[in-house]
Structure formats: structure tokens, C-alpha cells
Structure 1
Amino acid sequence: MTTLAILAALPTLCAAQGNVTLYGIVDTGVAYLSNQGGGQAWKTQSSNLSGSRWGLRGAEDLGDGLQAIFLLENGFDINSGAMAQGKREFGRQAYVGLKSRRYGALTFGRQYESVLQYVGRLSSAAQWASIVGAHVAGMDDLAPAFRVNNAIKYTSVNYNGFSFGGLYGASNQAGEFATNRAWSLGARYSHGPLVLALGYFVLNHPAAPGTAGAVGASGAGTGSDYRGAFALKALDGSGTITRHQTFAAGGSYIAGRATLGLVYSHVLFDATGASARADNYEINGRYQASPALLLGAAYVYTDGRSDTGQRPKYHQINLGADYFLSKRTDLYLVGLYQRAAGDAQNAELNMLPASSTNVQTEVMAGIRHVF
């Protein structure tokens, strides 16, 4: 009922402020998965290149270059009509704050952290390879699938190509200041054809039971979300995650119609019984074959190790083609291949059921419309 009330009031809001925008993306397609627990699978699959969503964005001019801003964004599965992100009404983002033309923006609510904001856009998964093409288990948050609750976030203005920011997600727990808490920092530099970025993100005790702090349930994580394919194998079932750290850096360079990108991330999981770490190396490229056709390719190598003696490794290839029928509607074809090696016994593309072997392939085709 709340959603209907907001939509019903939209004309009034627009009249009162003159600067409220309704926007969204609808993305769906069909996919073939070579091995899902031992069998092949054909299925419809929502939110491939972009998460299907609708949202409200608004601003009010307060004078002297200062604005009050807000954003409410709902994610949904177009194939079932169900809300995503743990069935939250505004699970993708929900924040309000102030934005200054001279000093930047300070916002409060459920928001993206700095590794994704500054480095994530350089990864193939965030550009054209879909969230399934993210690094193993989405461990480094370089694909847009993670949000922080209770977040206070600062984003600077652009200083001749340089921008920076940080986020703090409060635990909201009396006497447990560091339990279920998050913080991050990031920076980005863009000049002509060159882009450079780095970010750092820390989660403290993200699996703390019964808490409702920075890391909430489904879509922003409980314990199992941080013990994904990599952590489970590398830690060999040792304890619960007490600290999850990610450092990421990347860059891209445009040369004519081609863009070459490099992304690196180092991820550390501390548990009560052991620790595990992984280095992810990605090289990606995209080529604007014509004004309507974009082609992409990427290779990702994941090298994991842990105190338990496990050494999981993964090789992944992402290929994609995106054809724009108009500025708002495009058709896409994406192919993803992953091979597990070392102590990693089963391939498991991000957000998909594991393969019964060390190899897994998915091919997806679909349509995306932006409004």
C-alpha cells in the first residue's frame, strides 16, 4: 500500500517541488546453464545486465548552491513480479541528504559502499557481462549486488577529474559498537581517455545473529552471504566470519573505439578458526563496433589460499555483445565460462547453483529497456 500511495501522490510531489523524477529499468532474458548440480538447465532470468527496478529521485533548491536530495529505489523480478533484495520495498537504495555545489553530498540511509562506487564501474560485470560474470561468489563487491544499511555517506565534488568519498554503516547495537559495522573509502581520477580508481571496504562481524546493523538480511547479507563458494571451500568450515576486508584498484584507457581495463582486488576473510584470502586479476576490453553495437571480452583469474591449507583457484572468461535498438532499448547476448582448479572442486558462477564438475558455462540473451 505504501508504494501505491507514493505513486498516487507523485503528481502532487512534482507540482510542489518541480524536481521529482520517476525512472526505472526492465531487464529480462532466457539463459542456458551447462551444469546445475549435474544437469543442464534452460530458464528465464531477470536482471541480467541491469537489475530491474523503479525509483523516485528528487531535489529541492535551498539556495546558495545547496540542495535537499532523496532517492528511493525498488528492485524486482520481472518474471514473477516479486520484490528483490530480501523483499524490501526500497531494497536497492533509500537515502536522503544534502548536496552542495562546493562541498559535495552527505546522505543517510541504505546505500552502496566505496569499492563499488569508485572501482566497480571498471569491471566487466558492471559494464556488459552481467552480475553472473562477477568475480567468484561476488567476494569483492565489484558488481552492484551489495548495500549497506544505516549508512552515512560523503561524496565529494569533482576537482578537475578527481573525486573521493567514504561511508560508515552503524551497528545500531547497544554495547556492540563494532558488531555488524561497515566502513569504506574510495577515490577516482578521470582525465581524457584515462580513468584510475581505488577503494577499501571493511565489514566487522557481518554474521552476528539477531542484529540489524550495517549488514542486514538477504540482499545485504547474513552469515551465509559472506561464506560463499570461495570462503566455504577455503576456510573448510572453520568458525564464522569476524571480519571481511576488500582492497580494489583499477584503471581503463580509451583508444579510438576500443577501451582496455585492468582491475585487481585483494579480499581477506578472518574467521574464529582460520583466515582465507584471495587475489582477483581481471583484464577486460570493449569495442564500439558501430554506434549501435558494443562488443566485450574479459578474463578473470582468482588465486585463493587459507590457513587450513586450501588453495582454490578459478579461471573465468566473459564475452558479451550489446545491440542498441534506440537510446533506451537494447538486445544483449552474454557467454560466461568458469573452470575451478587447485582445491576448488566445483565451478560456481556468481549467484548460480554450483556445477557437479569443475566447469560451468552460461549463455544468456535478453532485452533491456530504460525509462
Structure 2
Amino acid sequence: MKRLSLLALPAGLLLSVGAYAQSTAGSSSVTLYGIVDAGIAYVHNAQGANGRNQSTLVAANSGTVSGSRWGLKGTEDLGGGLSALFQLENGFSVFNGTLRQGSREFGRKSVVGLSGNTWGTVTLGRQYDPLVDQVQALTEDAYFGGVFGTPGDLDNYDNSLRVSNSIKYVSPNWAGFQVEALYGLGGVAGSNGAGRTYSFGAAYANGPLALAAGYFYANGGNSTTNGVRAWTSSSDSLFNTVINQGFASADSIQIVRVGAQYAIGPVTTGLAYSNTQYGHDSSSLFHTTAKFNNGSAFFNYQLNPALRAGVGYNYTSLTGPASAHYNQVNLGADYALSKRTDLYALFGYQKASGNTLNASGAVVSAQASIGDFGVNSGTNSQDLAVVGIRHKF
């Protein structure tokens, strides 16, 4: 990350960043930072143009391990242990320059708030929920990204969703223990519950052991079109692949996640569990709560200061309107060329069995889709390999 005094933006906007220090308080600072992640992916069993054809896909992919981004963040010392802060973070594709996160200018994060040494931090804006902040940090996502994630990212393992119009509290760290809470305003007149989101979590770290748990709930609003919930809500939706597209008419998302990590010497290992439930109402195409239970484990070994290798396993089951099972195995390696630049290679295999629902609500055979890579297979298995480079600044 680099301190700036002047930044020229591509749109021609000139942003002056002063290091002005008020006489009654301390200094101010603004930092420009970012990640550029570019890879080439090979997918065996990718859904073809006819919707069921299994094809081989070779494609460029931006943000395989870390979403490509640039951002600005700053603080101002207000005195007496109180600080003002802000953060604006843009997500983009390095291969074509387009915006990500629904084509938002600062879709990854945009917040402003206050922080106190004794009582914690409050931020307002578009931001991550406590499960992402606390539980995700203990999973393999923190090392090798969403390819290792839950099939279709159905439980937000790889933070496919963020929460807009939200208020979040993060406590100070009390001897390794920390809590968070978030509330997203639905903004529907006469119906305060429509479109709202709330979440809370707690984490504890002591030496080699780290633990975290949390709860997330989002209401999707009242509007549906052709069996798809509009999600005019504070939360983004999660219905992006064949794993859970059949439940896109859900009126709510409820997630419980727990995670544990243990690090000793060159070895880091972890376990995680999630229970995800998609609720229904009279407008939904399914009429029994869809329940996904997921368990995952990983093992990483630091072979030398530059090279890390890891293996992960992920099991997911669906009950309710249908019954399906997904087994996924992943391998990963990362080689650091410097503190800011690294090369990576990832592999994944997934096997699906049983039945699920399609986008029309009909019962169909379960299809594979590895992690959060987002490619439907058109069949019950899929192989994926990615090589890439990542640079942080």
C-alpha cells in the first residue's frame, strides 16, 4: 500500500489528498491500495450453448484467488482516542476493465464511520457481514480463494453477497475475543421487515488456535418476476449457478457458520460447517424450506518461505424440496516471487448426485459447479485447473 498526496482518476476527476493536521487533533492520511489477479482456466465439463452439452472451456479469469480491486481508505485523528474513517473499494475485471459487483463503482465496499479506542468501531454503508469478517478468515478461502469454496457459494463462503444500506459495529479486541453485529435497512415504507438484513458473530484467537461463529439473515423483499425474487433488499442474492438457482424465488436466506483453525510450525489446518436455509412464501416456486448442510476441511503446508501447498475437501447435502449431494476435492500451490507478487496453481474436482430444482422449479438431476468459480457443468461432474499471477500494491 502507498500513501498518496495526489491521485489522478481515469474519469478525469482530480482528487487532492492532503495530509492536513488539525491543531486540536492529530493527523489525517489516505492510502491507495489494490490487487490485480489474472489467470487462465481449463474446465472439463462446462455447459454448452444448448444448456446440456458438456464442453471443454479454456478462458481468462480475473480474481481467482483474490478479487481484482483498487481502493482508497483513510483516517482522521479527532483526539481523545476517537478517529473518523472511510473506505471505498472498487472491483473490476483485469481482462476487459469492466466493473464487478453488479457494475457498481465501489461495489466491494463503501463505508464511513467512527472508531474509539475503548468502545470499538461503527461504520455505515455497503460492507461485509460478520460471517465474512470472522468465519471466512479461518477457511481455505483466505489462502486459495473461492475455488475451494462451497459449491455455487450457496452459503456465502467466498462473500458473493455484501450488505448495502447497513450499519455495523465491531468491538475492540478483548484478550483475543471480538464480537460484531450488522443491520441492513430494508427501506420499504410500511413494511420494516421487507428487505432487511441482520447478522452477528464472535471470534476468539489465542496462540495457534482460532475459533469463530456467526448468524446471517436476509429478507428478499416481496416482488418476484417469472419465479425469481427481485431482491430489492439490503443484501445481494446468492443464486448464481445450478447448485441453487432452483431456489431463486426464496423470500429469505438464513446462514449459520462456524469455523476453527490451528497453526503450528509450517502446518495450518482448519474445519468449518454451515447450515443454509432458503425460506419460501406464496410467491416461491418451492413450498418446503431448502436446507443445505456443508462441511469442509483443509490442510496447508509451508514447504519453504516462498512456497505453500494445500488440499481441501468439501461435502454438501441438500434436503427439503429435493435431495442432492456434492463431494469436492481441491489442490492448490502458491509461490511468492516477492512480498507483493506471487504465482498460483489450483485444481478442483466435484461429483454431484441426487436431484435438485431447476430455475423453473422442476425436479432435475443435480449438476456440478466447482466452488465459487461460477461455471455450470451440464452434467454431474466437473474438473477445473487454473494458473495465474497476483500482484498487490
Q: Settle same-fold status: TM greater than 0.5.
A: yes
**1:193 aligns to what?**
208
Q: Structure 1 vs Structure 2: percent identity of aligned residues?
A: 39
Q: Which residue of the partner structure matches residue 301 of structure 1?
A: 315
Cα displacement (A) at 1:254: 1.1
> RMSD of the TM alignment (CA)?
1.9
Matches of residues 172-321 of structure 1 in structure 2 within 5 Å? Answer: 172-205=187-220, 208=223, 212-215=232-235, 220-221=236-237, 225-226=238-239, 228-233=241-246, 240-272=249-281, 273-306=287-320, 308=321, 310-321=322-333
Quick check: which one's helix share is greater? 1
**Unaligned 5+ residue runs, structure 2?**
1-7, 22-26, 48-53, 225-229, 282-286, 356-364
Where do residues 37-56 of structure 1 align in structure 2 (5 Å cutoff)? 37=47, 38-56=54-72
Aligned residues: 355
Alpha-carbon distance in structure 2 between the residues aligned to 1:48 and 1:206: 31
- Read off the aligned partner of 1:355 and give its amino acid letter: S
Specify whether residues 22 and 334 from structure 1 end up closer, same or farther in structure 2 by C-alpha distance, changes over 3 A only: same
Corresponding position: 1:22 with 2:32: yes
Cα pair 2:252 2:280 within 8 Å, conserved: yes
Tell whether the 8 Å contact from 1:206 to 1:241 is kept in structure 2 after alignment: no
Offset from partner CA, 1:154-182 (integer Å, 9 cap, x none): 00110000001110000011112111110
Post-superposition offset of 1:14: 4.1
Residues 116-165 of structure 1 show CA distances to partners (whole Å, capped at 9, x for unaligned) of 1110112213321x223320221111213221000100001100000011
What is the Cα deviation at residue 7 of structure 1? 6.1
State whether residues 252 and 260 of structure 1, in contact with CA within 8 Å, keep that contact through their aligned partners in structure 2.
yes
Contact 1:132 / 1:352 at 8 angstroms: preserved in 2? no
> One-letter code of the match for 2:187?
N
- What SS is found at the alignment partner of 1:117? helix
Structure 1 pair 246/147, CA: closer, same or farther in 2 (3 Å)? same
- The answer (yes or no) to whether the contact 1:67–1:98 under 8 Å persists in 2 is yes
Note the C-alpha offset of 1:255. 2.0
Specify every segment of 5 or more residues in structure 1 that has no aligned partner in the other structure, as ranges: none
Cα deviation code 1:325-354 (max 9, x no counterpart): 000000000001111012253111234231
Which one of 332, 350, 363 corresponds to residue 385 of structure 2?
Answer: 363
Counterparts of 2:12 and 2:76, CA distance in 1: 18
Q: TM-score, normalised by structure 1?
A: 0.91
Residues 194-235 of structure 1 deviation map (CA, whole Å, 9 limit, x = unaligned): 0000010001125745674303xxxx23xxx437433345x6
Equivalent residues of 2:77, 2:84 under 8 A apart: yes
Relative distance call for 1:351 and 1:176 in structure 2 (3 A) is farther
Amino acid across the alignment from 1:167? L
Q: Tell me what 1:136 maps to.
A: 151
Aligned ranges 1:157-168 → 2 under 5 Å: 157-168=172-183
Alpha-carbon shift at residue 357 of structure 1 (Å): 1.8
Q: In terms of mean alpha carbon deviation, does 172-181 or 107-116 score higher?
A: 172-181
Match among 346, 369, 375 for residue 348 of structure 1? 369
Partner of 2:74: 58
Aligned to 2:360: none
- Map residues 319-338 of structure 1 onto 2, 5 A cutoff: 319-338=331-350
Distance in 2 (alpha carbons) for counterparts of 1:18 and 1:204: 39
Q: TM-score, normalised by structure 2?
A: 0.86
Match of 1:108 among 98, 121, 124: 124
Q: Aligned pair in 2 of structure 1 residues 66, 156: CA closer, same or farther (>3 Å)?
A: same
Specify the code of the residue in structure 2 equivalent to 1:119: V
